Amino acid sequence: MRLDAPASRSRKAGARNPSAIVAGLGRVATSARGNDTGVEHQIRVARITDIDRLTSLAERATGRSVSADLLRQLVYLPQTSIFVAEQGRELSGGIVMALRPSVRTGGYIGSIDLLAVDPDLAAEPTADALLAEAIRSAHNKGCAVIEAAFPDDPVELARLKRSGFAAVGQLLARPLAKESV
């Protein structure tokens, strides 16, 4: 996200839009240990150099293996959005959203594949900011719907519901392992 975005054309050249300067920043009040960190986080598009840190953080936060090689490939695909949150120069979270066309919805569907936040930091504001950025990005890319897998964690479910997600039935899936195709 560009923090010094130019103002509208109606302003004098060189003037900046004050709301654009603070876009992507949010106050993180407390760490998981309860102390005031007084640090702001910035949400931005992930770069290839972020992938190893994001993979490590995601594995620590979710307890599941995350493929760094796959994430490196996804960084360059236009139908995938990867955003990271930083506090200072430290990576504090990340979200991966893939886009796919859908005849059923009449447009694209944004699918949140990964949302991971550093468990040692205040997860709530960082996760909320990452989710809001993914929703904004999906809207800007013309998605009719954004979806996420039904989480096992009640805190994660409450976060998604606060952001406007609702249960809309169930999907059936069939794994396509190499030997079963």
- More confident site: 26 or 170: 170
The pLDDT value given to residue 39: 52
Contact 129, 41 (CB under 8 A): yes
Q: Say if strands 36-45 and 80-87 run parallel, antiparallel, or are unpaired.
A: antiparallel
pLDDT for 19 equals 27
Please state the rounded mean pLDDT for residues 106-115: 93
The pair of structure tokens assigned to 26 is: 């949010």
| Domain boundaries along the sequence of the chain | 40-164
Strands 107-117 and 90-102, how do they pair? antiparallel
SS3 143: strand
Would you call 119 exposed, middle or buried from its count of C-beta atoms within 10 A (0-12, 13-18, 19+)? exposed
- Model confidence at 27: pLDDT above 80: no
Q: Which amino acid, one-letter code, is at 43? A: I
Q: Which residue has the higher pLDDT, 120 or 48?
A: 48
At 3 the pLDDT is: 33
pTM of the shown model: 0.74
Q: In Å, what is the CA distance from 105 to each residue of 52, 87, 146?
A: 35, 37, 11
Share of the chain above pLDDT 90, in %: 52
Mean pLDDT of the chain, nearest integer: 78
Return the half-sphere exposure (C-beta side, CA atoms, 13 A cut-off) of residue 101. Answer: 1
Residues 111-129, mean pLDDT to the nearest whole number: 90
pLDDT surpassing 80 at residue 40: no
CA dihedral (32, 39, 71, 136) in degrees, to 10, reads: 100
pLDDT band of residue 172 (cuts 50, 70, 90) is low
Structure tokens at 150: 């039904």
- CATH number assigned to the domain covering 40-164: 3.40.630.30
Q: How far apart are CA 68 and CA 51, in angstroms?
A: 6
